[in-house]
Amino acid sequence: MAWAEGSGVNRKMIADGVMERVRIATRGSALALRQANMIAADLRASLPGLAVELVTISTTGDRNRADAISTLGDGVFVRSVEVALLDGRAEIAVHSAKDIPTSETDEPERLVLAAFPTRADPRDVLISGIGADFASLPPDARLGTGSPRRAAVAKHLRGDLEVTLIRGNVDTRLRKLGEGEYDAIVLAAAGLARLNLLDRVSEYLDPAVWIPAPGQGILAVQCLRGSPIEQLLAPLDDASARAAITAERAVLRTLGTGCRTPVGAYAMVEGSRLWLRGMLLSPDGSRREVAEQRGSITDAEALGCSLARALIGAADFYDAGTATP
């Protein structure tokens, strides 16, 4: 990530003493801390003299590691961090964009997603403990994932595999793989890159097949709406990342679903054009529908809504009223 030269307004806030310290709320996992530190480093580099501190927050998702995320509801890695903004313990929050709920009723009115930095690699990757790529995994191999989307894609492609739940942070999942609990696991390339663990990757999975989760590879930087911090964060916002996440979140919002449903959406941005590809699967992977939309980045929201409606129309296994396939 690279910041543009700090604006005069931001520098004046520092010089006038309006803002001397910024606190960043974050989860306490190694990956979350790394992501928050990336934002902190950019702030310090752009505005010398600004003190930046991290405030570590324990979330519902962190405290319930034995449960499937799909049983805990949406926002389990986000809500407690947002509370730290609302009650004044922090001025900025850093989230993985794919963790943020899309329902308008779930979005606190006082908060704003002020910046989406440049997107990292959105792909899923396979890490194999037996030196195989996905196609070469032996029948009945144990594949670990905590994602309904990844589980459904794996079952769709390889019904012979034993796809089982895995929870925990990246280091915990790698440890379980090393101890032989699983033959392979599926993780996000972006997280491994941020933790300098790409040497563990056995295979980068084709995003045309393993369509990523909406927002995968994108960070979301949040603050109080209308606060001086919003100006401070503006140079960090990447137009392509914002267009992509707008389209992808519109898919989820229109479907009326979240982490409980096997759905993927990935927007590729080239200049002023956007190509959006999405998929909807039954939980057992037996049925899969894919749709595409192309258009201008200025129509990102509409493209996402249109793609979701196309998926709903094609997937007769999907109940749009209950958002449960």
Residue 67 designated active-site: no
Instruction: Fill in the amino acid letter for 14.
Output: I
Q: How many Å apart are CA 318 and CA 325, to the nearest integer?
A: 4
CB atoms near residue 310 (< 10 Å): 17
Q: Which of 98, 100, 101 is nearest to 120 (CA)?
A: 98
What does the alpha-carbon distance between residue 257 and residue 248 come to, in Å, rounded to a whole number? 12
Q: Where are the beta strands (DSSP E) in 168-237?
A: 184-188, 203-204, 219-224
Helices (H) and strands (E) in the chain, counts: 11, 13
State the Cα–Cα distance between residues 319 and 297, nearest whole angstrom: 29
Torsion of CA 148, 154, 160, 163, to 10 degrees: -40
Contacts of 27 (CB under 8 A, 6+ apart): 33, 56, 57, 58, 59, 62, 77, 81
Task: Please check whether residue 237 is in contact with residue 6, taking contact to mean a CB–CB distance below 8 angstroms.
Answer: no
To which H or E segment does residue 254 belong? helix 239-255
Which residue among 16, 67, 87, 99 is the active-site one? 99
Return the active site residues.
Answer: 99
